[in-house]
Amino acid sequence: MKPFEISSIQDLKLYRGKRLVLDIPHLELKTGAVTILSGPNGSGKTTLLKILAGLIEADEGVFKSNSREISCAAAPKEFSGLHLYMHQVAYMFSGTVVDNLSFGLRQRRYAKDIIDSKIEKILKWASLNHLADREAKTLSTGEQHQVALARARILDPCLLLLDETTAHMDKSARIRTYQLIKDLQNDGVTMLFATHEEESQHELNGVKLGIADGKLL
Ligand SMILES: Nc1ncnc2c1ncn2[C@@H]1O[C@H](COP(=O)(O)OP(=O)(O)O)[C@@H](O)[C@H]1O
Ligand SMILES: [Mg+2]
């Protein structure tokens, strides 16, 4: 069992001023599967993903795994580094693709030979060998998302939160990205994929959830 793999969320609420922007009495997340969260702009997708990544603290709510519960106040610290949020627009650090891929591992103080071996495997997995030494910021949008997915996978997250990952890609980049997500699914990585596009729902085989006005449908 990974350190904290969410199986359900209970009574989650988040206010912005007096406005209740998220109100989720109960949400099951199937571990080892992809859950596709679809809803229009402003429905609360990004907010929910960021709460699950520990980037925003909810006002109320409890997160449960099979073995324990975490309060909303404790969640940001508990989820940090275990639940990874992938921004809608992939953010590349300065340096090459390899620098980007090794960043988290260096922060975690992995030994150089282990980093090298993980990088070799991940470059192969994401078909990024030909871009390994390129400056990451100069890559196309689709390529940057592939690097971001590989950079997340290399850290072996308990939960991967994908925010409209395919929204700004051309068709071929979207097809490659769906394939990478399917590979992650085959490896049993738990994912929540937020989208407002029909296509992702057809392309990905997962649990489908709808959201509107901060409430699950
Ligand atoms: N920092 C913020 N301050 C105030 N309102 C916010 C803030 N962030 C998001 N919201 C509001 O919360 C709602 C949900 O936003 P968001 O989660 O970004 O939706 P989505 O990702 O589905 O487009 C929207 O009404 C948005 O305006
Ligand atoms: Mg959003």
Closest C-alpha residue for ligand 1 atom 7: 16
Find the ligand nearest to 50 CA.
1
Domain holding 23: CATH number? 3.40.50.300
CA of 42 from ligand 2 middle (Å) equals 7
Q: Ligand 1 atom 20: the closest Cα is on which residue? A: 42
Q: What is the mean pLDDT of each run of 10 residues along the chain (217 residues)?
A: 80 97 95 93 96 97 91 95 91 97 96 98 96 97 92 94 90 90 91 90 90 97
**What Å distances lie between residue 147 and 80, 125, 140, 207, CA to CA?**
20, 11, 11, 26
Give the pLDDT confidence score for residue 1 in this predicted structure.
52
Measured from CB, residues less than 6 Å from any atom of ligand 1 are: 16, 21, 39, 41-47
For residue 177, give its domain range: 8-216
Q: Return the closest-CA partner of residue 97 out of 141, 138, 155.
A: 138
pLDDT at 2 (0 to 100): 65
Residue 163 lies in a domain: yes
Q: What is residue 184's predicted lDDT score, i.e. its pLDDT? A: 92
Structure-block tokens of residue 42: 């402003």
The CA 81 to ligand 1 mean position distance, Å, reads 24
Ligand 1: distance of its center to the CA of 46 in Å?
7
Q: What letter would DSSP give residue 96?
A: B
- 37 belongs to a structural domain: yes
Q: Which of 15, 20, 21 to mutate to test the pocket of ligand 1 (most atoms within 8 A of CB)?
A: 21
Asked, for residue 3, whether it belongs to a domain, the answer is: no
82: in domain: yes
How many structural domains is the chain composed of?
1
Examine residue 55 and state whether it is found in any structural domain, yes or no.
yes
The reply to whether 1 falls in a domain is no
Ligand nearest to the CA of 22: 1
The reported pLDDT for the residue numbered 91 is: 92
